[in-house]
């Protein structure tokens, strides 16, 4: 199943891309991200381990990203979240008139033992949780990026 969420951020495309690409900086933007360990990074291929706070306790996932400045980030999880067999997706970035549109897409498949006759319902429920998480995270990036721009715009007057 595919889940997509979109947001418009009033910052230039390179700045928006850089915030999403800087996986180590996610701890400053997303409060539920506890730690990020960058395992490999050559500027294009990226491997990381991320621990996220969840209602049931901390959850650690490992991710691989392909970073294409400043147009897209492609992602998959060789160690997906519990109960998920496949989790992949991407973020795309497009700027127009100083506004950057970010489209976050995720494709997922639940583990077979999660689908015991209730496949469609469980998939739909998981998709809704994922959609909400994408929406929340995109909003947090937007807030961080736009607040950062405001801070910089006002700082000369304060000095």
Partner 1 sequence: VSAPATESRLFEGRCNESIVVRTSRARAFAALHRVEDWPARLPHVLAIDVLYDDGQYQEFLMDVRSDGGPIRVRSVRNCRLDTFQIEFFQPDPPAFLRHHAGGWQFYATGPDRCMIVAYHMWNLEPDVAAARFPPTDGRSTEQEVESLLRNHSLLALQSWQKILEEAA
Taking residue 39's Cβ as centre, other Cβ atoms within 10 Å add up to 11
Name the minimum Å distance from CB 89 to partner 1.
11
Nearest to 71 by CA among 98, 103, 93, 104: 93
Name the minimum Å distance from CB 12 to partner 1.
19
Name the minimum Å distance from CB 112 to partner 1.
14
Our CB check for partner 1 shows the closer of 58 and 78 to be 78
Taking residue 66's Cβ as centre, other Cβ atoms within 10 Å add up to 13
Our CB check for partner 1 shows the closer of 84 and 133 to be 84
Q: How far apart are CA 124 and CA 98, in angstroms?
A: 36
Look up tokens 């492609």; give the residue. Answer: 74
Our CB check for partner 1 shows the closer of 63 and 102 to be 63
Name the minimum Å distance from CB 151 to partner 1.
31
Our CB check for partner 1 shows the closer of 126 and 141 to be 126
Q: For residue 7, give both structure tokens.
A: 């947001």
What is the contact surface with partner 1 in residues (CB under 8 A)?
Answer: 39-40, 42-45, 47, 64, 66, 68-69, 74, 76, 78-79, 85-86, 88, 109
Q: How far apart are CA 146 and CA 68, in angstroms?
A: 23
């Amino acid at each position: 199943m595919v889940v997509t969420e979109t947001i418009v951020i009033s910052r230039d495309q390179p700045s928006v891309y850089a915030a999403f690409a800087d996986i180590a900086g996610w701890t400053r933007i997303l409060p539920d991200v506890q730690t990020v360990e960058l395992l490999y990074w050559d500027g294009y291929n990226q491997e990381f381990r991320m621990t996220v706070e969840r209602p049931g306790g901390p959850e650690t996932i490992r991710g691989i990203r392909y970073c294409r400045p400043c147009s897209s980030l492609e992602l998959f999880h060789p160690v997906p979240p519990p109960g998920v067999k496949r989790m992949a997706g991407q973020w795309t970035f497009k700027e127009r008139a100083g506004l950057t549109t970010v489209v976050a897409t995720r494709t997922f498949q639940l583990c077979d033992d999660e689908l015991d006759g209730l496949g469609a319902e469980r998939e739909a429920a998981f998709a809704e949780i994922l959609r909400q998480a994408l929406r929340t995270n995109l909003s947090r990036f937007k807030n961080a990026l736009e607040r950062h721009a405001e801070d910089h715009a006002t700082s000369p007057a304060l000095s």
